[in-house]
Amino acid sequence: MFVRGIAFGLVAGLLMMGASKAKGEDRSGGLLPVPAELIERGTTITADMLTERHFYFDPERPLSVLTSPTPALGKAARITLRAGKPIPKNAFRRVQLISRGRPAEAVFRMGGLTITAAVLPQDDGAAGDLVRARNMDSHRVIAGIVSATGKIEVSAP
Domain 97-154 CATH (choose: 2.60.40.650, 2.60.40.10, 3.30.530.20, 2.30.30.760): 2.30.30.760
| β-sheet bridge partners, residue 77 | 92
Instruction: Tell me, yes or no, if the two domains 27-93 and 97-154 fold the same way.
Output: no
Specify the fold of 27-93: Type Iii Antifreeze Protein Isoform Hplc 12 (3.90.1210)
pTM of the model: 0.59
Q: Residue 36 corresponds to which amino acid?
A: A
Start-to-end C-alpha separation, the chain: 89
Helix (H), strand (E), coil (C) string for the chain: CHHHHHHHHHHHHHHHHHHHHHHHCCCCCEEEEEECCCECCCCECCHHHEEEEEECCCCCCCCCECCCCHHHCCCEECCCECCCCCCECCCEECCEEECCCCCEEEEEEECCEEEEEEEEECCCEECCCEEEEEECCCCCEEEEEECCCCCEEECCC
CA distance 113 to 111: 6
Residue 57's pLDDT is 84
Residue-level pLDDT at 27 = 56
**pLDDT of 157:** 67
Cβ atoms 104, 119 nearer than 8 A: yes
Walking along the chain (157 residues) 10 residues at a time, the average pLDDT comes out as: 46 45 58 95 93 88 90 93 95 92 94 93 93 95 94 87
Residue ranges covered by each domain of the chain: 27-93, 97-154
What does the pLDDT read at residue 11? 44
Q: What is the pLDDT of residue 17?
A: 46
97 near 127, Cβ under 8 Å?
yes
